[in-house]
Amino acid sequence: MTQMIYPTTNLTATEQMIIERGEGVYVYDSNGKQYLDGLAGLWCTALGYGNEEIIETAAEQMRKLTYSHTFGGKTHPAAMELADKLSAMVPINDGRVFFGSSGSDANDTQIKLLRYYFNAIGKPEKYKIISRERAYHGVTVAAAALTGLPVNHAHFSLPFAALGILRTGSPHFYRDGLEGESEEEFAARRARELEELILAEGPETIAAMIAEPVNGAGGVIVPPVGYFQKIQAVLDKYDILLWDDEVICGFGRLGEDFGATKLGLKPQMMSLAKGLSSAYMPISAAVVTGEIYQAMVQPSAEVGAFGHGYTYSGHPVACAVASKVLNIYQRDRVFDHARVMGEYLQARLAVFKDHPLVGEVRGMGMVGALELVADKQTKQAFEGNAVAGFCQKTCEDNGLILRALGGNSMAICPPLIINEAQVDELVDKLGRALDTTLQYVADKQLLQCR
């Protein structure tokens, strides 16, 4: 045991696997065992491991300028180049870019930008933010309050009310749809519930609604067709901004540049991280419209500075690496490859629809999930997370890394560079793990057979 406090870990079960190296879509543990990384690290290693072009870019930038901050009028070429690339790429009018180091701090930044903006335009009462159940938006105090997962709230005494965090229902039709309700009717109901919440709180008090195009850590929840169009119509009606959390979905994960493109969102704010650098360096970006930025310029001059920023905002090595990653995405048509491989992955995962343990197979592009249930007919869930935890360990025994999420779902999110043969390998190893898990469930008499 080292002295390290481990993140998002059962602190009674640390250091179970020591990863020593990676190459392509594979990683290797301290015993030399190979694993297909079926979760792309933490939804982030889009270009896989050991890309020499990216490594050389980092080394070259380190030789040139290892560090320079961006406070007080100072800047450097790497940050300016990346900001301009992102502004041209995102579906936001005159996008302005603030750099950080993680998706959590990007979302934390966005909360501050919202408050600064509405104070600047004379609407200080407009500060509340609507989030959704089963959403994941990070783990800083503010970002964890936006997150809608109980495990990220327990024992932390988060200041939901002080931050003005409101909660509306998730887009998970499999779990939240009513008996006899169609997906379209479910989406319409969610929109009505959103409008009722807005009217109850007062539209003049609500600044924005934050949403992932496809929920990630909440269980890979794909919204019904037309869901976001209905939600956006309600937000537009009451002058509430749409804040698009693209930390997982951005940069090709759904087969397009952004989830907003794939699902037809029209955001005024976007949070980016993970795939921005393919996780080769920690970097994030909070993007807002030029209108929001311009409103903040004069107030910052009046007090002497825009009083927000991190030591590593616009770190030159991280920015140079992210620019190289964006170049590789474009040059190698990585998003097109991800679209084709995503269709293949979803087709291959569909073979598990009839598996006795699998209640739902869901996904889009290069992200998917299998929800494990005790009864396929009634959708009865297993108590606790032991079944998915067993399946995760069994996947690892078979040389496959996946992630068990709340609700006993197995999340799948391989690097975008994966090929057909490797998708087949992933599905084969997952199938063997499911069969072993089925035997475990049967031995424990947890499966409700009908």
Examine domains 19-51+333-443 and 54-331 and report if their fold is the same.
no
DSSP 8-class letter at 139: S
Question: How far is CA 244 from each of CA 209, 213, 234, 362, rounded to the nearest angstrom?
Answer: 8, 7, 16, 21
Q: Is the pLDDT of residue 449 over 70?
A: no
Q: Is the pLDDT of residue 450 over 60?
A: no
**What's the pLDDT at 170?**
98
Kindly state the average pLDDT of the residues 333-361. Answer: 98
Q: Is the pLDDT of residue 108 over 80?
A: yes
**What's the pLDDT at 447?**
86
Question: Which CATH class name applies to 19-51+333-443?
Answer: alpha beta
Q: Is the pLDDT of residue 407 over 90?
A: no
**What's the pLDDT at 381?**
94
Return the CATH architecture of domain 54-331: 3-Layer(aba) Sandwich (3.40)
Kindly state the average pLDDT of the residues 195-200. Answer: 98
**What's the pLDDT at 409?**
97
**What's the pLDDT at 149?**
95
Q: Find, among 349, 433, 445, the residue nearest to 392 by Cα.
A: 433
Kindly state the average pLDDT of the residues 174-199. Answer: 98
Instruction: List, for residues 134-156, the tens digit of each pLDDT value.
Output: 999 999 999 999 999 999 999 99
Domain edges within the chain: 19-51+333-443, 54-331
Q: Which residues of 68-192 form beta strands (DSSP E)?
A: 96-100, 128-132, 165-168
Residue 251, Cβ density class (10 Å: 0-12 exposed, 13-18 middle, ≥19 buried): buried
Confidence of residue 1 (pLDDT cuts 50, 70, 90): confident
In percent, the amount of the chain with pLDDT more than 90 equals 97
Q: Is the pLDDT of residue 301 over 80?
A: yes
In percent, the amount of the chain with pLDDT more than 70 equals 100
Instruction: Compute the radius of gyration of the chain from its Cα atoms.
Output: 22
DSSP 8-class letter at 382: P
DSSP letters along 302-318, please? HHTS-----TTTT-HHH
Mean pLDDT over the full length of the chain? 97
- Rounded CA separation 106/250 (Å): 14
Kindly state the average pLDDT of the residues 110-122. Answer: 98
HSE, side-chain direction, 13 A CA sphere, residue 372: 31
